[in-house]
Amino acid sequence: MSFLAPFAFAAALFAIPIILMYMLRLRRQEMRVSSTLLWSQVLQDNEANTPWQKLKRNLLLLLQLLILALLVFALARPFVNVPAIRAGQVTVILDASASMNALDAVAGEATRSRWQAAQDEALRIIDTLAEGDRMTLIRAAAVPEIVVSAGTDRAQLRAGVNDASPSQAGADWTAALNVGLASGAGAEDFTLVIISDGGLPADVGLQGTDVDVRYIAVGTSAENTAISALATAALPGNPPQLFGQITNYGTLESQVTLTLLVDDERFDTRNLSIPAGAALPVLVADLPPAFRTIEARITRRVNSPAPDYLPLDDVAYAVAGDGGARRVLIVSGGNVFVEQVFRSLPDVEAIRTVDDIADGFDLYVLDGRTPDPLPDGNLLFINPTGDSPFFRVTDTIEAPSNPRIVDENDPRLRFVDMGGVNFLRVAELAGIDWATPLITIGDDVPLLLAGERDGRRVAILAFDPSESDLPLQIAWPVLIANLTEWFAPAALIDVPDSLRAGEPLTITAPLDADALRITAPDGTTQDFTTADGTIIYNRTDTPGLYRIAVIGAGGNVLSERPFAVNLFDAQESDIAPVAPDALSIAGAQVNAPVTAESGQRELWPLAALAALLVLLLEWYAHHRRQRMPLLAR
């Protein structure tokens, strides 16, 4: 045993005044009395309080001296040398991926998680740090987090370990290892310690380094059954169907009960048996045609020989699709500029016809046509030649010039530049009070106007694109893309089935949206403005159902759309722990946590605790002694 602060033993000199206080007694004033018969007790007290008399055995004095000795011992910071993983600069990477939620830290008992076991291992490393050692603590999750950087304060390090928590998504091990490697830059004696169940990707590596990597394994079992896939689909003319898959990653046969909730109502329940190491497909037909959300849940049956140590992947979610690509019908005698621009747009299915107009399209493009009756849907008139319920053609303006955008902030004209565009002729229209001019030419003659009437959106291009040089400008596809988005907005999100936990989501804001609000499964919300058009949402670490609300002018909710986030990660659901001699990291030598180095374990907390206990004993003895004369009477 050694001491980090031996000078603290000088505090033992405080024992001298404590002893002197017990040797000194109170002096009393002498008085003459007529008889001492009734004063015998006073005489005995007077004799006992004679100053500097010989010390007698006193329990309180002994307890107080023991308290002082223990406090001095604690202030001297005693320590013993104990085996340590390494001395110097140590970086500990705590695996915070989803598999660390598995409840198999104690073999055969679903009581403690792997994360709790990892915390215990990290705390043991902290307890063995020597004076001057530095430790960096990194939490490996979807985005690595430096919890404590090059810390020497053990209390701060312990608090960092205890306050950290596991995630419900995968971990970016390449980034975590690179952050850990950077934390030891310039250190002469550096060790990288990984506390994990070994679920690292096969391609992860530390190329070009000679870092000493130590691996501490946690976890005891591979038994886990997971919902590994869940999606919905519908063939034309048929009700939607659910396709799922349940995978048994363990070594024993798993027997589970699958429960399906459609829009929070129980829809189907079935008992399933999955052989060890196998995947079982699940098909559920005839889903309600107008369903919105599906929740699938598996529960281990009582007689199942296989335990299920990771509850996180026992639940999965799916949502109804948005209906696929936007369908556009081009009614035209043949205009290559119109056909090509619509067929070049993403998520647009463009079909051309001469006069056979069918129902069921999101947009009807009438190129030089004014059919009677008009199709029931959104309409884009190009080069109108006849009258319609929405306008009248009154004249033709030859070679107009100077096209001008009326409102440059209108989203339908975003990134559209009409400068230098020439036109051979433009139709002059009447009866268009319901529409808003977007582009004018000449003496404020509407070149492009749009609006809503009779429950549909209508736009009019008052010219033939083939009689202008607009199709040769970048403004042409941009203008048509903006108008198509206004007619039939693309899906808010492009997620065919579901999003994996931790994966960012790209959101395309509708043109009429002022803001978007995303509600997470736990009820927390996040608002976004739509000034930039496209939004990246990266708070998808929690599996569950999220909801996107489109907020319009005045704060009104225009529409709402759910999306699902699931684990669906075989790297996390396959919870078989990797042994210390089996973990491989390209470019690094991974070693078991040997204890060739020496660390220091301080004993002062034990001494301080003992001093507190003795203080309580001294307090009890003092008060008991004061009560004894009263009890005697």
Q: Give the 3-state DSSP-derived string for 247-295, with helices as H, strands as E and coil as C.
A: EECCCCCEEEEEEEEECCEEEEEEEEEECCCCEEEEEECCCCCCCCEEE
The pLDDT of 9-34, averaged and rounded, is 69
3-state helix, strand, coil in the chain (%, to 5): 25, 35, 40
pLDDT in tens, 452-498: 988 789 999 999 999 999 999 989 999 999 998 888 776 666 665 67
> Is the overall model pTM greater than 0.75, yes or no?
no
The pLDDT of 420-449, averaged and rounded, is 92
C-alpha–C-alpha distance, residues 447 and 440, integer Å: 5
pLDDT exceeds 60 at position 597: no
User: 571: which 2 tokens?
Assistant: 């790297």
Higher pLDDT, 80 or 301: 301
Tokens 């029931």 correspond to what residue?
A: 376
CB neighbour class for 328 (10 Å; exposed up to 12, middle 13-18, buried from 19): buried
Q: Which CATH class is domain 499-564?
A: mainly beta
Where helices occur in 348-474 by DSSP H, the ranges are: none
C-alpha–C-alpha distance, residues 529 and 509, integer Å: 9
**Residues sharing a CB contact under 8 Å with residue 72, sequence separation 6 or more, in sequence order:** 8, 9, 11, 12
Higher pLDDT, 78 or 402: 402
Q: Which CATH class is domain 225-321?
A: mainly beta
Where helices occur in 465-552 by DSSP H, the ranges are: 475-487
φ, ψ of residue 461 to 5 degrees: the values are -100, 110
Tell me the range of 256-260, 496-500, 619-623 where mean pLDDT is highest: 256-260
Which residues sit opposite 388 in a β-bridge? Answer: 391
Domain 86-221+577-594 adopts which CATH fold?
Rossmann fold (3.40.50)
**Residues sharing a CB contact under 8 Å with residue 339, sequence separation 6 or more, in sequence order:** 330, 332, 350, 352
Would you state the pLDDT for residue 633?
43
Q: How far is CA 351 from the centre of its chain?
A: 43
Reduce the DSSP state of residue 389 to 3 states and report it. coil
C-alpha–C-alpha distance, residues 82 and 602, integer Å: 10
- What CATH number does the domain located at 326-487 have? 3.40.50.880
C-alpha–C-alpha distance, residues 576 and 307, integer Å: 13
C-alpha–C-alpha distance, residues 559 and 567, integer Å: 27
Higher pLDDT, 195 or 204: 195
The pLDDT of 192-208, averaged and rounded, is 84
pLDDT in tens, 515-540: 899 999 999 999 988 775 678 898 99
The pLDDT of 348-358, averaged and rounded, is 88
Cis amide bond preceding 373, omega within 30:
yes
Would you state the pLDDT for residue 69?
84
Domain ranges of the chain: 2-80+604-632, 86-221+577-594, 225-321, 326-487, 499-564
pLDDT in tens, 554-578: 888 888 889 999 999 999 999 999 9
The pLDDT of 135-164, averaged and rounded, is 93
User: Please, what sign has the CA dihedral across residues 172, 173, 177, 178?
Assistant: negative
Q: Identify the DSSP state of 485.
A: H
Domains 86-221+577-594 and 225-321 share a fold: no
